[in-house]
Structure 1
Amino acid sequence: MHRAIILVSIIALVLAAALAGLGPAYRADVIDLSQAFGVMRVLALPTLIAAGLAAIAFVGALLTARSHAGIALVADLAAGIAGYAPIKMRSLAEANPRIHDITTDFENPSAIVAAADLPRRNPPAYAGGDMVGETGKSVADSQRAAFPDIKPLIVGADVPGTAAKAREVLKSMRMEVLAESRPEDGGLVIEAVLTTLWFGFKDDFIVRLAPAEGGTRIDVRSKSRVGGSDLGANAARVRKFLAAMDAAL
């Protein structure tokens, strides 16, 4: 029984480590993205099964070998979390349109300038008219249907005050400011980037501030440099930023 508990725990830990290591392996150019996702699909179910077996091993350890209960519990938690991640990603992919560029201004989306020439698979230009797979909808129409609440925000503060708060919010959201520019309308454009924790994906985030009657208009654009679907991440990021700005100003 003792050997079985240890064996199951080791298998669960190895599978969990293999899944967790896909992100760092991709970041280190050891594997490409398609290989990483392929391995993820293969390992997801075995890792969840291993998590279930580790849970059984944990109960068995409590009854017969308490000294092994710790490793069984750690293995159960590690495999459960690692195995759940691909399932969650698939669920998000099914729940969100296959797009990776979100904007509050369809007619005049903020341009990606500072990061335009940095490594990317998705061109910096906004392609709102491109069709999304076989859905019959364009990128812009897909966003309108899935995220109708994402719109420009008007706040009562002036541009300098709004800009100061925008920089604070960007920092709190782990984004790095790449550049700032001042258009002729007296506004301000802040270009930032967010690097995801697991795979190190880089998403551009543009904040455009323009003088408006009674305050400042805030437009935002968030675009992934890699990938066809962002799993709803860009929309969630835009919502979070605008909500923080609305609450603060």
Structure 2
Amino acid sequence: MNKPFDFTRWSLRISLFSLLAAGFAVFCLRFSIIDFQPALLGIAGTTLAGLLAIVFGLIGTLRAIKAKETNIASTLAGPALGFLVVMPVLMAIMAGAGAPRIHDITTDLAHPPEFVAIKALRAPAHNSLDQPEPENLSTLQKEGYPDLAPLLIPRPSDQVFEQAVALVKKRGWEVAAVSAESGRIEATDTTRIMGFKDDVVIRIQAAGNKTQVDMRSASRVGKSDLGMNAKRIRLFLADLGK
């Protein structure tokens, strides 16, 4: 007689594999062992494996309940580990749902703040800073983030500049350039888990009796930023304007 398929055991095996594989992909990406595209493919694969582990585990749990087994909790180990793999990816997708497929966001579409020092830190394989694509980038940003606009602050420009520099450092961004003369701050924000680098330039200039602050945030890799650059700009300007 053939032994029935052990869904619980395979759920645990698959979930352990997916968890280790996802961790390995993240490790290799953060230490530049592999490029972001193979890493994302790996994470996509481990996410599917995590989903399979959850399905297998739940089937095993239902079978255990039907058989009136006493140790039901042990059947949930696989689904729990699979959940740990799947949830971060699903949360990122949900957070970026509806975001336009662009990766270079600015408060001034006509004359965006220009990167100077950051250019030397970006490789040819990184996204271009010349905003050549998509051709309708401005339209997509206006439709996706109609609220993004220059910030006017009723404080002297030198004071706002110092506050902006302090805020950049407080956020833990890696400062690439600080020029009080030109009112420009350049920095890089690295995401905690995946280690993706997004470059930021802040332009501060007097505007009558107020100070105008423009900001630009651009991802080094990827066609879409899942809304992260716009979110970064909103949060930074909100804190600076307090």
Asked whether the two chains share a fold, i.e. TM above 0.5, the reply is yes
Amino acid of the residue matched to residue 108 of structure 1?
H
Amino acid of the residue matched to residue 137 of structure 2?
V
Q: Is the Cα–Cα contact under 8 Å of residues 11 and 52 in structure 2 kept in the other structure? A: no
Q: 5+ unaligned residues in a row in structure 1: which ranges?
A: none
**Aligned with 1:196 (options 167, 176, 191):** 191
Offset of residue 90 of structure 1 = 4.5
Root-mean-square deviation (CA, aligned residues, Å) is 3.0
Look up the match of 1:64: 70
Q: Is the Cα–Cα contact under 8 Å of residues 11 and 50 in structure 1 kept in the other structure? A: yes
* Residue 50 of structure 2 is aligned to residue 47 of structure 1: yes
Q: What is the correspondence of 1:10-49 to structure 2 with a 5 Å cutoff?
A: 10-49=13-52
Look up the match of 1:148: 146
Q: 1:174 to 1:10 in 2, by over 3 A?
A: farther
* Residue 89 of structure 2 is aligned to residue 86 of structure 1: yes
Look up the match of 1:171: 169
Q: Distance in 1 between matches of 2:165 and 2:145?
A: 25
Look up the match of 2:207: 212
TM-score (norm 2): 0.81
Compare 24-33 and 217-226 and name the one that shifted more: 24-33
Q: Deviations over 1:26-75 (max 9, x none)?
A: 233433222222223333222123134446768969x6348x75x955x5
Amino acid of the residue matched to residue 15 of structure 2?
A
What is the percent sequence identity of the aligned residues? 29
Amino acid of the residue matched to residue 124 of structure 1?
L
* SS across alignment from 1:112: coil
Q: Is the Cα–Cα contact under 8 Å of residues 24 and 198 in structure 1 kept in the other structure? A: no
TM-score (norm 1): 0.79
Q: Is the Cα–Cα contact under 8 Å of residues 30 and 194 in structure 2 kept in the other structure? A: yes
Q: What is the correspondence of 1:88-103 to structure 2 with a 5 Å cutoff?
A: 88-91=91-94, 95-103=98-106
Q: 1:193 to 1:6 in 2, by over 3 A?
A: same
Amino acid of the residue matched to residue 238 of structure 1?
I
Offset of residue 4 of structure 1 = 7.0
Q: Is the Cα–Cα contact under 8 Å of residues 158 and 216 in structure 1 kept in the other structure? A: yes
Amino acid of the residue matched to residue 129 of structure 2?
P
Q: Distance in 1 between matches of 2:156 and 2:175?
A: 20
Amino acid of the residue matched to residue 143 of structure 1?
Q
Offset of residue 103 of structure 1 = 0.7
Compare 190-199 and 25-34 and name the one that shifted more: 25-34
Compare 172-181 and 221-230 and name the one that shifted more: 172-181
* SS across alignment from 2:147: coil
Q: Deviations over 1:91-140 (max 9, x none)?
A: 55652111111111122211111110213311233x2xx453xxxx6111
Q: Is the Cα–Cα contact under 8 Å of residues 159 and 209 in structure 1 kept in the other structure? A: yes
Q: 1:168 to 1:48 in 2, by over 3 A?
A: farther
Q: Is the Cα–Cα contact under 8 Å of residues 10 and 56 in structure 2 kept in the other structure? A: no
Amino acid of the residue matched to residue 28 of structure 1?
F
Q: Distance in 1 between matches of 2:115 and 2:234?
A: 19
